[in-house]
Amino acid sequence: MLVTGAGGSIGSVLARRVLDVEPEGLVLLDGSEQNLHDLALSLADHPSAGRSTYVLGDAGDVGLIDDLVQRHRPQLVYHAAAHKHAPLLESQPLAAIDNNTLTTVRLLEVCAGRIDRLVMISTDKAVNPCSLMGASKRLAELVLLQADSPVATSLRLGNVWGSRGSVVPHFEWCLDQGRPLTVTHANATRYFMTEDEAAELTLAAPVLGDGADILVPDLGRPLSILEIARTMVAERGLSAESYVRIAKLRPGDKVTEELHRAGERLQPSGHSGVGRIVGPIPNSEEVLAWVEELADAVARRDVSDLIERVRAILPEYAPGPEVLELPETRRGRASKP
């Protein structure tokens, strides 16, 4: 088994869960030296630690993935590697598309005919995306939907409670520093799940999904970010009036998120709390064509052309002003007749 992004919040919990069932072998790949080091330390005392191989590298490195598949022969790949911070990625279009979309393409190509299943961690931000993070993951979903080999499934998750970079640890850090909690919008809500829930669903995905599908968990009612902030402040005996402030949406943020688009029919899966979206399946030739166009724009570092191509592929994608006003985007528009 191979896990990409193994040092991340979901990947690390997933790694431990896999070791609990004593796999024949587990390859843990991460592009961050620190994340991989921390993961190795956290798993050092696990009874199955000797079954793990830690690899520092990029999930989009074709030579590396080819070598790992050839040497370790994994039957299953969990693809959790991704850039995830939507506001940051609004100013990094090339990195967003290259890492989240094109890396998935390369991984799929190398694994074709050589593994049984590939499961990718997607996001609710891929639904009617207004951010490059969401658009890049929606493009990756489309790539997997048309794959003949390996059998591929995407799993749309909401915010993972307590994961690095998520709102709750950030609020805790602010309170520890004596700083006020900044809420981006009074009506902002998000879907939440725990790391264990995310890992359980990821492990179950090969059984719940038949391939060429997207799995969508029932995450219940989305939670108010303002209410979370008020509760955390009250638990420390502080005043919400003094410690909670309403600001404005960050680049790439929505007020509310969605788990599926209008027109996406949810079918039953093998789990009462998970729906399965099947199709429409994109045309393979069309997908191949636009993948080449995206790769060409990234290689040329042509941000303006890249954004235009993403908008053409995803008519529902509405880029924010931060993307449209990037110097590279404005220069590209100005240079065209």
User: Which strands make up the sheet holding 117-123, listed edge to edge?
Assistant: 52-56, 26-30, 2-4, 76-79, 117-123, 151-157, 213-217, 274-278, 266-268
Angle at which helices 284-300 and 303-313 pack, to 10 degrees?
160
Please say whether the beta carbons of 26 and 3 come within 8 A.
Answer: yes
Q: Is 94 exposed, middle or buried (0-12, 13-18, 19+ CB in 10 A)?
A: middle
Element of type H or E holding 329? helix 327-335
Active-site amino acid positions: 125
Mean pLDDT for all residues in the chain? 94
Q: What is the pLDDT of residues 267-298, one digit of tens each?
A: 989 888 999 998 688 999 999 999 999 999 99
Please say whether the beta carbons of 180 and 245 come within 8 A.
Answer: yes
What residue type is assigned to position 60 of the chain? G
Between residues 290 and 327, the one the model is more confident about: 290
- Residue 145 CA to residue 284 CA, distance in Å, equals 9
Whether 336 has a pLDDT exceeding 70, the answer reads no
Q: Is the pTM of this model over 0.85?
A: yes
CATH class of 82-160+194-216+262-335: alpha beta
Name the 3-class secondary structure at 248: coil
Please say whether the beta carbons of 257 and 125 come within 8 A.
Answer: yes
**Look-up of token digits 């939670």:** 223
Chain length of the chain: 337
Nearest of 329, 283, 284 to residue 310 by alpha carbon? 329
Q: What is the pLDDT of residues 130-182, one digit of tens each?
A: 999 999 999 999 999 999 889 999 999 999 987 877 899 999 999 999 999 99
Question: Nearest 10 degrees: CA dihedral of 162, 194, 89, 145?
Answer: 170
